[in-house]
Amino acid sequence: MKDFPKNFLWGAAMSAPQTEGQSLAFGKSATTWDHWFQKSPEKFNQSQGPAITSGVYDHYLADCQRMEEIGLNSLRASISWARLLPDGKTINSAAVEFYRDYFSAMSAHGVEPIINLFHFDMPMWLMDQGGWESRDSIEAFAFYAKTCFELFGDLVKKWTTFNEPMVHVECGYLYQYHYPAVIDFQRAVQVGYHTLLAHKAAVKAFRAVSETGEIGIILNISPTYPKSEAKADLLAAYRSDLLNTRSFLDPAVLGSIPEDLKTLLAENDLLPEVNAGDKELIAENLVDFIGLNYYQPRRVQTPQAANRPAQMPADFYAPYDWPDKKINPYRGWEIYPEALYDVALMMKDDYHNIPWFVSENGMGVADEERFMNASGEIEDDYRIAFMEEHLSYLHQGILEGSKCFGYHAWTFIDCWSWLNGYRNRYGFYRLDLETLERSVKKSGKWFKTVSQNNGF
């Protein structure tokens, strides 16, 4: 039996744009996703857009009951900026009513809400002004954050500012998976820098408003594993860590951007525009905890040929395809649970053992109806095995002193996923796309026993 620490959080994660639905109703304005889908529906799997998703806006009360039914004692959801402040300034009272009721219902079912402020869902009014490229985005986000802390601070004690900020940077400005889908390393760096400052400004606003709550940030983190111990591969891994992990984690926890990252950017004419006072803002507003999303390891090697100055991150490190890897063929991601042990020790040794939790981990599988039994239940034993393996390595890290306080699966109910629509399913509950009916999978029942036993 692997026992987890007392009061361990057993939960699941979801996000507003992937679940709420009613995307252009009840006062909500458009996000980049609504806009992009309207403009180019063919980019989205089976033309599945953000309008309906899982219908949480209408089903949330019964969903809170479902959380309890599978033993969740916590759940991460997000607030939609475009729903709460449709023009960035005016509070939408329908949104306030919805979120207050939703968070209260979670608590009534014994589920602690952990609420995130930004999950890739840039309001279109702000994107029209340059999005995170514009320095004004920092103040706009701080205002939104402060509004949330004031409106919901009595119901929510754990907040996070951003989900995987590196993803909207790289997908929006390097790899074309998010709007505005441009390729421009310099602009990507500026977007990342403003996002970091927006995070810091939100933490500052939080300290001014909240006396009892805690605030963190959710980062997608894997250690970088080099192809070999050769000097060039080690350098590639070091640079990958600087860009992908330490760029946000160091300033969030330690209060400074790594000097080596600044040097690397300077050598490649990639430094962002910086204002007086930024350094202090970064130094002073540290987080209370980290949320860590983990799906797959990052493996790199030295690039064959590289542009100088760099045009893309690939000029610093090339992906390495480990021949021995185990893979989830549906999502194309390597399965490597050992990394959870490695990051647990990294948090302990390099980040002064700050409290943290696994804020996402899970397995997306296509065509899950194949695993439906005679009574209509999806027998997702592969998901149970995946989570058990990951939890085992996490448990080892905790035994060795890492302060992990929870494990949140991605996700609660099958949800919409950006350009992939509903292709891969991750939920403890299956979603019927025709009826929006939810039915518990075998993994949901399994998770209940894990939560009840505080281990497995």
Which residues contribute to the site for ligand BGP (CB under 6 A)? 15, 18, 163-164, 167, 220, 293, 331, 360, 364, 410, 417-418, 420, 424
Q: Which is nearer to ligand BGP, 163 or 224 (CB)?
A: 163
From the CB of 168, what's the least distance to ligand BGP, in Å? 10
φ, ψ for residue 341, nearest 5 deg: -65, -45
Nearest to 75 by CA among 353, 451, 401, 454: 451
Positive or negative: CA dihedral 177, 183, 185, 191: negative
For residue 413, give the nearest of 72, 22, 23 by alpha carbon: 72
Least CB distance to ligand BGP at residue 60 (A): 18
Q: In whole angstroms, what is the distance from residue 15 CA to residue 309 CA? A: 37
Does residue 303 have a cis bond before it (omega within 30 degrees)? no
**Active site annotation includes 360:** yes
CB-nearest residue to ligand BGP: 417
Beta carbons of 442 and 377 less than 8 angstroms apart? yes
Q: Which is nearer to ligand BGP, 241 or 360 (CB)?
A: 360
Q: How many residues comprise the chain?
A: 456
- The minimum distance between CB 293 and ligand BGP, in angstroms, equals 6
Q: How far is the CB of 126 from ligand BGP (least distance, A)?
A: 20
Q: Is 262 exposed, middle or buried (0-12, 13-18, 19+ CB in 10 A)?
A: middle
- Spot the catalytic one: 20, 164, 170, 368: 164
Burial pattern 77-107, b for ≥16 Cβ within 10 A else e, equals: bbbbbbbbbbebeeebeebeebbeebbebbe
Shortest separation between residue 327's beta carbon and ligand BGP, angstroms: 14
Nearer to ligand BGP, 4 or 386 (CB): 386
Determine the 3-state secondary structure of 318 from DSSP.
Answer: strand
Of 252 and 265, nearer to ligand BGP (C-beta) is: 252
Residues in a beta bridge with 74:
11, 112
> Are residues 132 and 194 in contact, defined by beta-carbon separation less than 8 angstroms?
yes
Rounded to 10 deg, the angle between the 93-108 and 136-152 helix axes is 50
The one catalytic residue in 20, 334, 360, 368 is 360
Would residue 389 show up in a list of annotated catalytic residues for this protein?
A: no
By C-beta, is 160 or 301 nearer to ligand BGP? 160
For residue 133, which phi and psi values (nearest 5 degrees)?
Answer: -70, -25
Minimal distance, residue 261 CB to ligand BGP, in Å: 22
Q: Which is nearer to ligand BGP, 70 or 171 (CB)?
A: 171
Token pair listed for 398: 């905790």
**Residues belonging to the active site:** 164, 360
